Structure 1
Amino acid sequence: MMLVLILAVVVSGAAPLTSYAAVNVPDRIRVALFLNLGTKYQAITAAATLSSSGGLALSWRDSQNSLSADSIPAGQPARFSLDGYRAIVAETYELNAALVVLKKLQASSQAAFVTKLSKSGKTVYQVTEGVYPTAGAAATAVTKWTNAGAAAGVQSLQTPKVAGPWAVEAGPYTGRAEAEAAAELIGAAGLDTFVALKPQNNVMSYVVRVGQEKDASSAAALQQAASAASGANVRLPAASEPYAVIRNDMTYYGSANRPVSLYAVPLTGNGILRADPEGEAGIHVAERSKRTYRGSMEISAETGSLAVINDVDLEQYLYSVVGTEVSSGWPPEAQKAQAVAARSYALAGGMGFKLANVVDTTVSQAYYGIGAENPNSTAGVNGTKGEVLTFNGRIISALFSANAGGITADAAEGWGNPDPKMASAAISPDSGPQNGKMQWYRVATSTGDTGYVREDLAADSGQKNAAGIAQLRVTGDGVIVRSKPLVDSTAVARLSAGTLVVSLGKVPEVTVYSWVEAPKTAEELLASLNKRAKTPIAGPLNTLEVSRRGPSGRAIELQANGVKVAIEDPDNFRSALGGIRSTLFSIEETGRLTVRDADGTERQLAEQTGSVQIQGAAGEARTISDGSLFVLDGSGQLRAATAKPEFVISGKGWGHGIGMSQWGARGMAEQGYDYQSILKYYYKNVLIEKDAD
């Protein structure tokens, strides 16, 4: 009730009106499925396999041309890769032998291929690995695979060697069939031949590339042999000339009767192959979790890797984003709020990923293709078509996270700088994930194990142990004590019906709203922290505590062994602490104790090292060097401690907490607020504007 009243007071003053202004909202967006931008972003694949139930139309795009290139029949896959330097590991007449070598390469390389060629009147299968930027790098790979015995037991037709992108060209030919016939004729002379696409004089032609050599001089030496083998107009092309070589790839199906056309564009990045679906069906991308996407796919080279960019209608992109980011069963106004936030976020960064506006992961926002769409997400997008959030006339990067844990973060709690567009420490109705969830007892067993038991599997026994602590009785048989208050967490112990355990308190079940991590050792936390810390923490890790909090209560400073942890931005604490869900957390230092010795001297563990001895009722002393301790604090509360430093991290929320909470948007929608009020609550000083067109 208090929460509802607070929201009513805050939101009632908002003016949730859409302003129609001349803001630029484009019709299309570019989404990177695979892209290598170095430290900024990496999603790498050696090949992309595309298909569509209606077929694909291929075209060539570069600074001077936009040409129809080829077509892929309905339901048939086509593969795309890069033409660079490679290691030829084996060549054999036997496909099965080639596939054996392929499997060995694939154990440690994603860039292994089997290619079918016609040479000297026979079919041969070439096994290659890698797409390397230099002949030297490929030569190193040749040595590696030779020493590893990758082709051992295979009667190879040639010794391992370097293959490169240098070749002589014959043609052009009037069509693919004529080029294939010419390639077979030239190949009869024992030469490596491949059909290729070639943009020339504003026309897309078919040529035959002869050889796959490591340098220009080696390729030039083939010119006379190719001419003698009936090659037409044989020439050595300049390195800058664009092309796409077409190989008969056997890697995908591994069947002699099912070669797949593999289009390899130059590693140097001369041109783009674009695939458009024929008809209404989407494009299936095997290497992207076998998802199917609307729009077109553009294939090119970027930073020495294959780039696959989905060029798609903006609103159709959002159908998937909203369907991925929020549940289909959420209220319509929450769907709409998510649509406007996602549209704004996607456009605010411009071409922030060089070839693309956004990527398909949560580095931008999750985009899983047509399979993630649902009628409610689509309705939410259509109901807000073209609407974006603006500040001073510019579309804002409308940050959002799954769950703010009851209160949104101040932007400075995330990345150190305030942001007047994001609500600071706004109360957020995020507790929805806990609805219907049971609580869990934290318990200690007779063997000293600690963990969690769901409340319906234990009950008050009415008994106390020798220390006067209330005990619970396990009510089911084979009850598992879990490392977290979550059914699918690690099992700590298994108890039979009637077993007595000591209760250490009650906690909520783990959800996106409330969570607790299993105890982390000092060693694993130190290793995780030092991966992110600008100044390494000198071990061992004895203490770790939140030393400063921001306006929402989120951690903005940590101290390890009494020294500030040098992390660049507070939000990085999530990864630095082993991937915890938010920075709205607390740390229980189970190894921190105040111990009073027999002479009255107090010691602070684990700040001060040393062993702990416990004197029993009979006067015997025992040294505790490992395992758990159970101590009563000054108020008589039982506490689970450890002889060595360990840390239990618990908190609320999921994500950075800045801007809109998705679960909070759901909560507000369920309370009757429309999407405009929701947006104006989580984003401040903004307008909701729409493309004037």
Structure 2
Amino acid sequence: MSASPKRKSGWAIIFIAIFFISPVKAIAAKEPTMRVLISKDNKARFRADGVKNIFVEGISSNHRRIKSLNLVYKNNKVKYSIDNNLNTWFDLPNNFSLIIRNNDKRGIWFKNRRYAGELKVSLNEKKLNIINYLKLEKYLKSVVGSEMPKEFPLAALQAQAIAARTYALKLLNKNKSFDLRSTQASQVYLGLESETAKINRAVKSTNSLALFHKDKLINAVFHSSSGGRTENSGKVWKYQLPYLKSVVDFDHNGTKYRWTNKFTSGELDQIFPGLGGLNSIQIIQKSDTDRVLKIRLYGTNGNKNISGKSLREKLQLLSTKFDLYLEFNQINLDNKLNSDIKIAEDFSLQSLPPIPSDYFLLVQGYGAGHGVGMSQWGAKAMAEKGSGFRKILKHYYTGVQIKAY
């Protein structure tokens, strides 16, 4: 029997509804839960926001609905107190596992920040490990606001959201205990305070989009500012990846595009005690993008070659893109160089003369971060000139596809 026109119409409506609704459900169903390590310490305090309770699994059933929880690890024992009663403490076994949650959209307070999702606490390497479990898209709303200024154009924030999503997915389930740290060691994650309406829009408008190279998730690293040109990954890390190639950057208006640091002879002696102090220094190798790869240090106790990355860490420099100068140690009250001080020639690729006590080492540098992948200030400049997030990402990540994961 043939169907009537009315019945055909009904089936068509049902088919259309399934066609359009199902993909949304599929995306929601596959959204992963991220495990973010937010603290390793010997004490911790959690509390509710306002009048609502927090719920704690893993302690006495009489203590599960409380306003606050204090934990201390001392003398190989973990103890807890509840509701600010610091005169009464209860023991936890060393193999304990706590789960802290609430049903308040304002989250759970920990270390002066509020966190969504669940907080799980366990003892690992004699430290209280606090791991935040939350959905990927919720995590990203904090990461984008923690990593990039909220005032940046929407397209730059969208590019950051996709890069951060890709970076997180790449690390998912790679570690037994957690996926990411909350610091620059992974991606900066500062809890609910970092969310704004504009950042939430950037994340939501790019939902499920990630970066791929030959159908595999890329290592979507990013940095603040490259100083005019990004770096090849092989010059910073072990491998040269095809999508992390050096490209022109547009970060000239960045707040850290150009910077200087000064070090007195006495400060350098303290930083390099193994050498008996630093008598002189020499840049012996740079990359094609002018980043320092190798340095030779001259000390009373001998000479030593170290990487530009190591010198950056020791001197706490913003990047490895720098030059060295020797200047006479006279400083105005406003902490700027006197106009009559003469800058010696650039001693890059040759040895500085001995650094006497009345001189200082001047480091003039460019950019901030490792310089590989997307430049955040460059993304801002491209967005301000009208580029969308796709153009920004394809500029900084060579030969990538942008598609749903």
- Give your verdict on TM over 0.5: yes
The equivalent of 1:158 in structure 2 is none
Letter in 1 for 2:185: V
Q: Is the counterpart of residue 57 in structure 1 residue 55 in structure 2?
A: yes
The equivalent of 1:79 in structure 2 is 70
Letter in 1 for 2:92: V
Q: Is the counterpart of residue 566 in structure 1 residue 305 in structure 2?
A: yes
Q: Is the counterpart of residue 344 in structure 1 residue 58 in structure 2?
A: no
Deviation at 1:280, TM superposition (A): 2.6
Whole-Å separation in 1 of the counterparts to 2:231 and 2:30: 29
Letter in 1 for 2:250: P
Do the aligned residues in 1 keep the contact of 2:70 with 2:81 (CA within 8 Å)?
no
The equivalent of 1:390 in structure 2 is 212
* Greater fraction of residues in strand: 1
Do the aligned residues in 2 keep the contact of 1:57 with 1:71 (CA within 8 Å)?
yes
Q: Indicate how the Cα distance of structure 1 residues 666 and 260 shifts in structure 2: closer, same or farther if over 3 A, else same.
A: farther
**1:366 aligned counterpart, secondary structure:** coil
* Greater fraction of residues in helix: 2
Q: Indicate how the Cα distance of structure 1 residues 363 and 631 shifts in structure 2: closer, same or farther if over 3 A, else same.
A: closer
Do the aligned residues in 2 keep the contact of 1:59 with 1:273 (CA within 8 Å)?
yes
Relative to the length of structure 2, the TM-score reads: 0.78
Q: 1:277 aligns with which of 89, 102, 122?
A: 102
Q: Indicate how the Cα distance of structure 1 residues 630 and 662 shifts in structure 2: closer, same or farther if over 3 A, else same.
A: closer
Whole-Å separation in 2 of the counterparts to 1:632 and 1:336: 43
Q: 2:36 aligns with which of 27, 31, 34?
A: 31
Q: Is the counterpart of residue 584 in structure 1 residue 321 in structure 2?
A: yes
1:438-491 CA-to-partner distances (Å, cap 9, x unmatched) read xxxxxxxxxxxxxxxxxxxxxxxxxxxxxxxxxxxxxxxxxxxxxxxxxxxxxx
Aligned residue pair count: 357
Identity %: 27
Relative to the length of structure 1, the TM-score reads: 0.47
Deviation at 1:642, TM superposition (A): 7.6
The equivalent of 1:308 in structure 2 is 130
Letter in 2 for 1:663: W
**1:323 aligned counterpart, secondary structure:** helix
Q: How does 1:354-433 map to 2 (within 5 A)?
A: 354-424=176-246, 426-433=247-254
Do the aligned residues in 2 keep the contact of 1:416 with 1:570 (CA within 8 Å)?
no
The equivalent of 1:522 in structure 2 is 265
1:273-293 CA-to-partner distances (Å, cap 9, x unmatched) read 1111124330111xx2x1001
Deviation at 1:345, TM superposition (A): 1.3
Q: Is the counterpart of residue 655 in structure 1 residue 369 in structure 2?
A: yes
1:543-572 CA-to-partner distances (Å, cap 9, x unmatched) read 2122211021100111223997433x5433
Q: Indicate how the Cα distance of structure 1 residues 282 and 432 shifts in structure 2: closer, same or farther if over 3 A, else same.
A: same
Q: Indicate how the Cα distance of structure 1 residues 572 and 416 shifts in structure 2: closer, same or farther if over 3 A, else same.
A: farther
Whole-Å separation in 2 of the counterparts to 1:545 and 1:273: 53
Do the aligned residues in 2 keep the contact of 1:297 with 1:310 (CA within 8 Å)?
yes
5+ long unaligned stretches in structure 2: 1-25, 329-338, 346-353
Q: How does 1:572-651 map to 2 (within 5 A)?
A: 572-576=310-314, 578-590=315-327, 643-644=356-357, 646-651=360-365
Rg bigger for which structure? 1
The equivalent of 1:513 in structure 2 is 257
The equivalent of 1:612 in structure 2 is none
1:654-693 CA-to-partner distances (Å, cap 9, x unmatched) read 11111111000101111111111111111123222313xx
**1:342 aligned counterpart, secondary structure:** helix
The equivalent of 1:674 in structure 2 is 388
Letter in 1 for 2:293: I
Do the aligned residues in 2 keep the contact of 1:629 with 1:642 (CA within 8 Å)?
no
Q: 1:328 aligns with which of 143, 146, 150?
A: 150
1:354-405 CA-to-partner distances (Å, cap 9, x unmatched) read 4211111111111111111111111111111111112343322211111111
Deviation at 1:261, TM superposition (A): 7.5
Letter in 2 for 1:574: R
RMSD: 3.2
Letter in 1 for 2:248: I
Letter in 1 for 2:97: I
Q: How does 1:130-149 map to 2 (within 5 A)?
A: 131-133=74-76
Whole-Å separation in 1 of the counterparts to 2:152 and 2:249: 17
Q: How does 1:476-487 map to 2 (within 5 A)?
A: none
The equivalent of 2:332 in structure 1 is none
Q: Indicate how the Cα distance of structure 1 residues 515 and 356 shifts in structure 2: closer, same or farther if over 3 A, else same.
A: same
Do the aligned residues in 1 keep the contact of 2:319 with 2:367 (CA within 8 Å)?
yes
Do the aligned residues in 2 keep the contact of 1:80 with 1:262 (CA within 8 Å)?
no
Q: Indicate how the Cα distance of structure 1 residues 409 and 277 shifts in structure 2: closer, same or farther if over 3 A, else same.
A: same
Q: Indicate how the Cα distance of structure 1 residues 387 and 524 shifts in structure 2: closer, same or farther if over 3 A, else same.
A: same
**2:43 aligned counterpart, secondary structure:** coil
Q: Is the counterpart of residue 48 in structure 1 residue 39 in structure 2?
A: no
